[in-house]
Amino acid sequence: MSPSEIEVLFVSHKYPPAIGGMEKQSFELINTAALYVKVHTLVYDNSEPIWRFFWQLNRRILSKIKAHPQIRVIHFNDGLIASLASFHRGYEHLKRVVTLHGLDVVFPHSYFQRKIIPRFNCFDQIITVSQATASAAVLRGIDPAIIITIPNGVDPIHTSISDNTGPGKDTADHMPVPIPYFITLGRPVKRKGFSWLMQEVIPALHGNFKLLMVGPFDHKPQWKERLLDLLPAQLSHLISLFLGHPTDQKQMRQLLNAYPNKIQHLGKVPFNQLQDLLAHAQAFLMPNIKVYGDMEGFGLVCLEASMAGTMVVAAELEGITSAITHNCNGLLLPSQDPKAWISQLQSMIDLPDHYTLLAQEFKKNTAEHFSWDIMARTYCQTFIDLCASRK
């Protein structure tokens, strides 16, 4: 069966104009897959309430299939939308595929774990973005025979940030940039390990350096945070996980005040400035820690940092290990091991030229093994093989 014979309906509620790792993955998958198979889409574009999108989804899928009877495969972008689709009726004759990212497997709600996760076995294929996510799925009763792992991709190298001679003029004009500096990126949620890094590692380092932190951040408590603080701890935890609430902000605020000379939070920055900051950092740090009911499904930001020419130093934890291979395209350290992190980062402060050269080698390895095109072609081949099977 050739790719030209396959028509695929992609169903996603994580899609631009919303911004995030899953939105990026969904966008790149759909648009790159269109180079190899005929693509149809049902995506949430913020033009209606999200509940209405979910409520109308079964009917809209049936309408799309009626209008395009050659559709052979339906792909759902994550476990949340797959949970709803497992109750749909009317298109059981088609091959149904879902991608699981991590939290949509480990979300610690008892009903979800007992009643919803087993329903994922009704799908013809489960694609996980990392081996860690696959293991978590099998542990919860999903048939390993229907699971395959396809890592996410990363954008091509940006030539405008291909050297490490120093921050570009645009960055320097908008913010003071210390040299050298480490950088973190992401939402301030507990699993990212930001407050752990700020408290256990950064104060112990010596030399001329600073930790720059980039991403959404509220320097003062907002009403949602105050409301969640009033709820019972377990309920607050569930709601925070579901909404992606920044659970590490309170402790991070205290540590920012405690170490103003060593740590600076820049908040969100424009894309070009972010790329410039990444390209000229001493290292990108991803110090994830274990958090009950949460997990890092892949670690896409590690690949993005590596492609910017930055040395990646990350926790050897969960899906990060599917993105970073130690001494190949980054350095992996034990999670929550302050001695190991202090030793490695101090070495980078003391021997910057060595690690700058090593980062360029790691960048080439990342470019060779990860791309959105590789990911999309692997997905398409999976769809082809699935349609050719007798199952």
Tell whether 99 and 206 lie within a shared domain: no
Cα distance from N-terminal residue to C-terminal residue, the chain: 16
Is pLDDT at 175 greater than 70 in this prediction? no
Residues 164 and 208 in one domain: yes
Helices (H), 10-102: 21-33, 50-55, 57-67, 79-85
Residues 70 and 209 in one domain: no
Q: Say whether both 198 and 274 belong to one domain.
A: yes
Q: Containing domain of residue 381, as a range?
A: 3-153+371-388
- Answer yes or no: is pLDDT of 43 > 50: yes
- CATH number, domain with residue 223: 3.40.50.2000
pLDDT tens digits for range 233-283: 777 767 766 667 778 888 999 999 999 999 999 999 998 899 899 989 999
| Claim to verify: residue 77 and residue 178 sit in the same structural domain | no
CB 383 within 8 A of CB 40: no
Phi and psi, residue 9, nearest 5° = -100, 115
* Reported confidence tier of residue 303, pLDDT bands at 50, 70, 90: very high
Say whether both 358 and 376 belong to one domain.
no
- What is the per-residue pLDDT for 87? 96
* C-alpha neighbours within 13 Å on the C-beta side of residue 352: 15
Per the CB < 8 A criterion, the answer to whether 225 and 250 are in contact is yes
The mean pLDDT of the chain is 89
pLDDT tens digits for 324-363? 999 999 999 999 999 999 999 999 999 999 999 999 999 9
| 4: amino acid identity, one letter | S
The pLDDT value recorded for residue 91 is 96
**Residues 202, 170 share a domain:** yes
Same domain, 100 and 123: yes
Domain count, the chain: 2
149 and 249 in a common domain: no
Mean pLDDT for 133-162 is: 83
Statement to judge: residues 7 and 115 lie in one domain: yes
Question: pLDDT (tens digit, 9 = 90+) per residue, 105-136?
Answer: 998 888 999 999 999 999 999 999 999 999 99
Query: Are 203 and 277 within one domain?
Result: yes
**DSSP-derived secondary structure for 246-268:** -TTHHHHHHHHHH-TTTEEEEES
Inter-CA distances, 6 with 46, 117, 374, Å = 29, 29, 18
Q: Which are the contacts of 1, defined by CB distance < 8 A and separation ≥ 6?
A: 384, 387, 388
- Name the H helices within 108-151: 110-111, 131-139
Question: Domain check: are 85 and 185 in the same one?
Answer: no
